[in-house]
Structure 1
Amino acid sequence: MNLTAQLHETAVKMASKPAYYFMDQATSYGELDVAVTKFADGLHKLGVSKGDHVALLLGNSPHFIIGMYGALETGATVIPVNPIYTPDEIGYILNNGDVKVVIALDLLVPLLEKMSPLLTSIEHMVICETGQDNSEENASRLSIYPKMKSFTELMKMGDSSFAGPNLDEDDTALILYTSGTTGKPKGAVLTHKNLYSNAKDVGDYLKISENDRVVTALPMFHVFCLTVVLNAPLINGGTLLIVPKFSPKEVFRLVKKYEATVFAGVPTMYNFLQQYPDGNPEDFKSLRLSISGGATMPVALLKEFEKKFNVFVSEGYGLSEASPVTCFNPLDRPRKPGSIGTNIKNVVNKVVNELGDEVPVGQVGELIVRGPNVMKGYYKMPEETAAVLKGGWLYTGDLARMDEEGYFYIVDRKKEMIIVGGYNVYPREVEEVLFAHPNIVEAAVIGIPDPNQGEVVQAFVVKKNDSLTEEELLAYCADHLAKYKVPQVIEFIGELPKNTTGKILRRSLKDQVLQK
């Protein structure tokens, strides 16, 4: 079984059921299935065949769903790309990924036109109409720019009787480029089996069904949304409530209007919802589950959110190389704040030392993963692949520990650990203390060079009001942390740098310090 085959089956069983709402307009499973097949045939008539690479430069919209599932139906490999990346970032991925066709927002037409001479492998650019002010201007370009085709026209070219090639479960379905926080992005090669198994296992674990209405506010081009909030609901007959761009106001409106049952977000989103002045707990009463992932959620925020909105938050863990989910806090057993939960179905997590041997319960080591969700490898990067895939296990680069009941806890990124005078300091441990302070909105911790101790701790803090001083915060930290863990420098800033999924970019903060 694969995603497109499952969509066809669901469409046969529940053709009239809403697959998604977008801008308050419903699209049924039957309508979605026809659109996907017609678009697949349109791509086929452009010359897209099994094994070709198709990139998506799209935000949260029906275009993304139809584009991805349609490309998969042709046997193509899909490469989702963040549409607000810089031209250099976009160009690197399109060239490194050997992309043949780009499906993009019409707002990106001027950029793509300018970049075209550098994108040597691209034969066609399929432009999606958004209805924005410059849509007519961009549409006029399509008639004079030979590589560009209209999404709508491509749909009209397609036939709903199209039958794509046979797909093997080990065929490549997606290449997901990592965020590149430690260098150039690497393309994680995921198979149809990887994607389908993880969507199914996550859906089973979280009990996602045709009765669920899932708020789709996370960016669809990110693997967390792709599997947990898009594929898992669709293969189980659920309904997506698509949020084009995250805003607390829109999330509260959609949850209330459609009686949403599931919300998924990164910790930053929960923080915005928690701080939103017009957030009414009554509006969230229909939610049976809130999911957090993408980054570690501060325990203080988790408890405050649950208390205010009376909603259960299940924190999980994943990474692009694992399609992505490996752990979630269970729904049928106690949830442990600060934990990423237990193994999901068919996936095994283990904590090991530098020799690859499992460490005793409670000890810190590297988290490694095994299961049907683990990638083939990195695209065109055999050495990097060999460094993380060893003996059937994926080495995540994250430091973790496991308790006596099989719950895992992320301590920090292996590369972000701070060593102060020979002592290990995990940034998350210090951040948890800072986050618990009543006058702090957000905090991030890095290590900076020190001639005496090798490194010392520096904290970046976003405060709620101007009354909080550095002296007061240092005293607070001294009461809650060992001396070597107390920040030597505290810098108050207006906002922490984040990527598009809301993950705090510690590397960016470190670069700022080193450049001073």
Structure 2
Amino acid sequence: MSNLASNLVATASAHPSAVAIKLDDVEVSFGALEVLSQNIATLLVEMGVGRGDRVALILPNIPQMAFIYYGVLRHGAVVVPLNPLLKGREVAYHLVDSGAKLVFAWEGVLAEAQSGADQAGKDGATVDVIPVDGAAFMQRVAAAEPTPGLVEVDGSATAVLLYTSGTTGRPKGADLSHDNLRRNTEISRDLMGIKVGEVLFGGLPFFHIFGQTCALNAAVLTGATVTLLPRFEPGKALEIIERDGVTVFEGVPTMYIAMLRHSAVSQTNLGSLRVAVSGGSALPVEVLREFERVFEADLLEGYGLSETSPIVSFNRVGDVRKPGSIGTPVEGVEVRMLDTDGADVPQGEVGELSVRGHCVMKGYWNNSEATAAAIPDGWFRTGDLARFDEDGAIFIVDRKKDVILRGAYNVYPREVEEVLYEHPAVAEAAVVGAADELHGEEVVAVVGLKAEYVPADDDGRRALSDEILAFAKERLAAYKYPRRVVLVDQLPKGPTGKILKREITV
């Protein structure tokens, strides 16, 4: 069966009483998850949703997200997961672009969801909104007669439309098939060694591909438990690790930084943790080393994007550690480094990381022009600049669009950020380009400080800023070091905790 929801059917049959989803004191077994997804399929029929129709989910990481997601898939419809932080105007764009017929909206965002549906209606769309509001919603789901079985779909059929963050324009819907997601879920299980009964940390949003594939779908495939944290808070994350015996932690670098800086980390029993995985953005080498020392668990870095389901490459347990590397391509996936003409660059030189294989999306939904630009010759252009070393390990240099052109030199922000993270006062850093009359662009570092290093006054801030600048100048070539260091309380972040450089103004 090609339908991704067949994983839930199989696991519910083999382990019906095992806990699938946990949110504090609420636990949902695999057997219950299967029945609830059947009820959702019945509800979709009642709402006039057919095979291939798009259904939007505007939900945080709550148990309802899991069974609605699988209910939509088993019905042969398409999941369109949206960020609950979107405003009505943004919701309307996604609904119109995807052609969604129905929205499941959490009660906390119901007003914006309804506003979006109403605005979409002005463009000729008819979108019904179902409030996911606790007891009333659960009563409605329970009243629906379960629809056993699955709608058979071809493996190439669209399962999920995952909208990109829109860093280079309006968001585009990455068209991910059942085969894309099923194969990547299996790879996620194998790379992390996830087994029945293990406990995965569910703090990455399920509307994002990392959390969706590597936590929710991987747990459903294997019979593991996902313990949810709807909104990341480092103290609560540490509490969940100890309380629920988390064995696999999946996060982005800012999550690991926040936990390492939290006062409770030294009092938390972290002994259950077997492995941690980082993705979403570059993991500073200093953070990797500190995490492994404090948590006494391997921290493995991988690489992927929404358009690649997501995993492209990974550092395997037992491989020779190469800090700063995103590992080697996973099974069935090929990677090349290409120049602007689409030719391979020599080993060791920097080119655009390009991908081919089972993980690559079908294309951008209803956007043939963007699809042709991203996949001009069967190879998906990621927009990331990278190089191979002599062993075939991949090292990301930077985002293509983030490269700073200072005079005649390319400055790769990640290289500068790695140096900044070595300074004892730096908790987080982002290096950006600022317009400059002489050089075209100038290198600017925006830095968030560890709490114990925050200066008491402006004189102290100026002195620390100068100290960090001198620290970087000592360690970087003359064209690379920041000419300005801006100290901030915290850097802007997206829903997964990824630093948003596009929102930094200097």
In structure 2, the residue matched to 1:499 is 494
Q: Which runs of 5+ in 1 are unaligned?
A: 132-149
Residue 374 (structure 1) shift:
0.7
C-alpha displacement at 1:490, in angstroms? 1.7
**Deviation digits for residues 456-493 of structure 1, max 9, x if unmatched?**
10111112321552222221111100011111122111
Report if aligned partners of 2:199, 2:227 keep a CA contact under 8 Å in 1: yes
The superposition leaves residues 167-193 of structure 1 with CA deviations (integer Å, 9 ceiling, x where unpaired) of: 110111111100111211111111111
1:157 CA drift (Å): 4.0
Counterpart among 387, 409, 425 of residue 439 in structure 1: 425
Matches of 1:403 and 1:281 in 2, distance apart?
A: 40
1: CA distance, partners of 2:353 / 2:161: 23
CA drift of 1:282 comes to 5.3
> Which 5+ residue runs of structure 2 have no aligned equivalent?
none
Structure 2 matches for 1:301-320, cutoff 5 A?
A: 301-320=287-306
Following superposition of structure 1 onto structure 2, how do residues 26-425 of structure 1 map, counting pairs within 5 Å? 26-120=27-121, 121-130=125-134, 151-280=137-266, 283-425=269-411
Inter-partner Cα distance in structure 1 for 2:356 and 2:340: 17
Q: Separation in 1 of the partners of 2:116 and 2:30? A: 37
The answer to whether the 8 Å contact 1:102/1:122 transfers is no
TM-score of the superposed pair, with normalisation by structure 2: 0.94
Question: Partner of 2:4 in structure 1?
Answer: 3
Give 3-state SS (helix, strand or coil) of 2:276's partner: strand
Residues 41 and 157 in structure 1, CA contact (< 8 A), matched pair in contact too: no
One-letter amino acid of the counterpart of residue 236, structure 1? T
Kept in 1, the 8 Å contact 2:36–2:142? The answer is no
Helix, strand or coil: the match of 2:16? coil
SS at 2:307 equivalent: helix
How far, CA to CA, are the matches of 1:360 and 1:24 in structure 2?
Answer: 55
Query: Does the 8 Å contact 2:473/2:482 carry over to 1?
Result: no
Q: In structure 1, how many angstroms separate the alpha carbons of the residues matched to 2:356 and 2:366? A: 22
TM-score normalised according to structure 1 size: 0.92
Percent identity reads 41
How far is the alpha carbon of 1:159 from its aligned partner?
A: 2.3
* Distance in 1 (alpha carbons) for counterparts of 2:352 and 2:502: 20
Q: Is 2:11–2:30's contact at 8 Å kept on the other side of the alignment?
A: yes
Q: C-alpha separation between the residues in 2 aligned to 1:420 and 1:112? A: 44
- Give SS of 2:325's match: coil
Contact kept? 1:53, 1:98, Cα under 8 Å: yes
1:300–1:435: 8 Å Cα contact kept in structure 2?
A: yes
Instruction: Provide, for residues 427-446 of structure 1, a one-character-per-residue CA deviation record: whole Å limited to 9, x for no partner.
Output: 11111111110011111111
Query: Counterpart in 1 of 2:15?
Result: 14
Q: How far off is 1:271 after superposition?
A: 0.8
| CA distance in structure 2 between the aligned counterparts of 1:29 and 1:490, rounded to whole angstroms | 51
Instruction: Give, in whole Å, the separation in 1 of the partners of 2:286 and 2:442.
Output: 25
Distance in 1, Cα, partners of 2:489 & 2:235: 22
Amino acid at match of 2:340: E
1:304 to 1:449, Cα distance in 2 relative to 1, 3 A: same
CA distance in 1 between counterparts of 2:120 and 2:138 reads 24
CA distance in 1, matches of 2:359, 2:112: 35
Residue 281 of structure 1 and its aligned partner are, at CA, apart by 6.5
| Cα-to-partner distance string for 1:186-235 (whole Å, 9 max, x where unaligned) | 11111111111111112112211113210101111111100111111211
Distance change >3 Å, CA 233–CA 427, structure 1 → 2: same
- 2:198·2:225 contact (CA, 8 Å) conserved in 1? yes
The SS at the match of 1:410 is strand
Structure 2 contact 86–112 (Cα < 8 Å) conserved: no
User: Are 2:23 and 2:227, in contact at CA under 8 Å, matched by a contact in 1?
Assistant: yes
CA RMSD of aligned residues (A): 1.5
* Deviation per residue, 1:335-356 (Å, 9 max, x gap): 2211111111221222122222
Q: 1:71 Cα shift?
A: 0.6
The whole-number CA distance in structure 2 between the counterparts of 1:38 and 1:112 is 23
Shift of 1:111: 2.8
Q: Per-residue deviation at 1:508?
A: 1.4
In structure 1, C-alpha distance between the alignment counterparts of 2:139 and 2:18, rounded to whole Å = 27
* Superposition deviation, residue 294 in structure 1: 0.6
Report if aligned partners of 1:198, 1:324 keep a CA contact under 8 Å in 2. Answer: yes
CA distance in 1, matches of 2:298, 2:381: 30
2 CA distance for matches of 1:156 and 1:247? 32
- Which one-letter code corresponds to 1:350 in the other structure? R
Q: SS of the residue aligned with 2:263?
A: coil
Alpha-carbon contact 2:4-2:178 (below 8 Å) kept: yes
Deviations 1:373-411 (A, max 9, x none): 111111111111001113221110100011111211111
Of 465-474 and 391-400, more deviation after overlay is shown by 465-474
Distance 2:292 2:13 in 1: 39
2:477 equivalent to 1:482 = yes
Tell me, in whole angstroms, the C-alpha distance in 2 between the residues paired with 1:415 and 1:283: 42
SS at match of 1:419: strand
Return structure 1 stretches of 4+ with deviation > 6 angstroms.
none
Aligned residues: 493
Provide, for residues 16-48 of structure 1, a one-character-per-residue CA deviation record: whole Å limited to 9, x for no partner.
111121222322111111111111111112111
* Letter matched to residue 108 of structure 2: L
